[in-house]
């Protein structure tokens, strides 16, 4: 199994609070991704990174920011959480940006009340 | 826009064969992935097709027709543990990175 750790695994917080989710990898892969998964929508890309300090937006990036200061860590921040951001968040990694599959972490279940 | 369609749910009997279809309409195409996801767990990679034809991997096979915008995942000798969601994902190349667009997934229930 790919060495990907997401933390926390579960979180409940209130609307308007900041939230940071962490993805840590031990594979030294260049590419890292944050997705959210909601019923009926499948996995949707929030942000991705193609190297240290190199990040770009995905299809549902509004309300989210990311940072990658080290190869192994990719942080996802909700500056002011809203109830629409209640979801399961998955981090993924891939060695190259080509035909290699992405490997996923175990997910973070985030509830915003 | 990008559109990927899969049936929402399917049921099948243990020991049988089931085919899960995926049709796509995307701007650009550079391959198609299938993932398996058990409830409450991470998606795990099953197969990748970039050329037309059938790729076989044990009990699982995946087929692609680029001209038709169509793929299917074939599961043979079904087992109870195959009860899971199956996700179809199209690879688009943008700026040299591996961008995936996922379908909503097909939830397969295998009955004894």
pLDDT in tens, chain B (112 residues): 789 999 999 999 999 999 999 999 988 899 999 999 999 999 999 999 999 999 999 999 999 999 999 999 999 999 999 999 999 999 987 666 668 899 999 999 999 9
Does B102 contact A94 at a Cβ distance shorter than 8 Å? no
Q: Residues 29 to 68 of A: which have CB under 8 A from any B CB?
A: 31, 40-45, 48, 50, 56, 58
Write out chain B residues lying below 8 Å of A2, CB-based. none
Distance from the B90 Cα atom to the nearest Cα atom in chain A, whole angstroms: 11
Q: Considering Cα of A5, then B89, then B29, then A62, what sign does the dihedral take?
A: negative
User: Does residue A1 register a pLDDT over 60?
Assistant: no
Q: Which residue of B has its CA nearest to A41?
A: B104
| Max CA distance (Å), chain B | 47
pLDDT on residue B99: 83
Structural contact between residues B99 and B17, judged by C-beta atoms closer than 8 angstroms: no
Q: What residue of A is the nearest CA neighbor of B43?
A: A104
Can you tell me which residue has the tokens 């591996």?
A: B98
Q: Which residue of A has its CA nearest to B3?
A: A41
Is residue A18 within 8 A of residue A77, CB to CB? The reply is yes
| Residue A96 to residue B7: CA distance in whole angstroms | 31
For B42, which of A44, A45, A107 is closest by C-beta distance?
A107
In chain B, residues with a C-beta closer than 8 Å to the C-beta of A54 are none
Across the interface, whether the CB atoms of A104 and B43 are under 8 A apart is answered yes
């Amino acid at each position: 199994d790919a060495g990907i750790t997401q933390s926390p695994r579960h979180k409940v917080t209130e609307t308007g609070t900041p939230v940071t989710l962490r993805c840590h990898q031990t594979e030294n892969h260049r590419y890292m991704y944050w997705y959210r998964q909601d019923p009926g929508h499948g996995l949707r890309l929030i942000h991705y990174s193609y190297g240290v300090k190199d990040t770009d937006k995905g299809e549902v990036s509004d309300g989210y920011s990311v940072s990658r200061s080290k190869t192994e860590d990719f942080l996802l921040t909700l500056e002011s959480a809203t109830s629409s951001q209640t979801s399961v968040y998955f981090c993924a990694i891939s060695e190259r940006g080509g035909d290699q599959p992405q490997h996923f972490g175990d997910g973070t279940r985030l509830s915003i009340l | 826009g990008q559109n990927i369609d899969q049936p929402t749910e399917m049921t099948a009997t243990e020991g049988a064969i089931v085919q899960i279809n995926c049709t796509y309409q995307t701007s650009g195409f550079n391959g198609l992935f299938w993932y398996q996801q058990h409830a409450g767990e991470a998606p795990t990679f099953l197969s990748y097709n970039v050329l037309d034809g059938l790729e076989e991997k044990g009990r699982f096979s995946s087929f692609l027709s680029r001209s038709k915008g169509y793929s299917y995942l074939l599961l043979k000798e079904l087992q109870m543990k195959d009860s899971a969601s199956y996700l179809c994902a199209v690879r688009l190349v943008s700026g040299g990175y591996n961008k995936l667009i996922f379908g909503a997934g097909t939830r397969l229930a295998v009955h004894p």
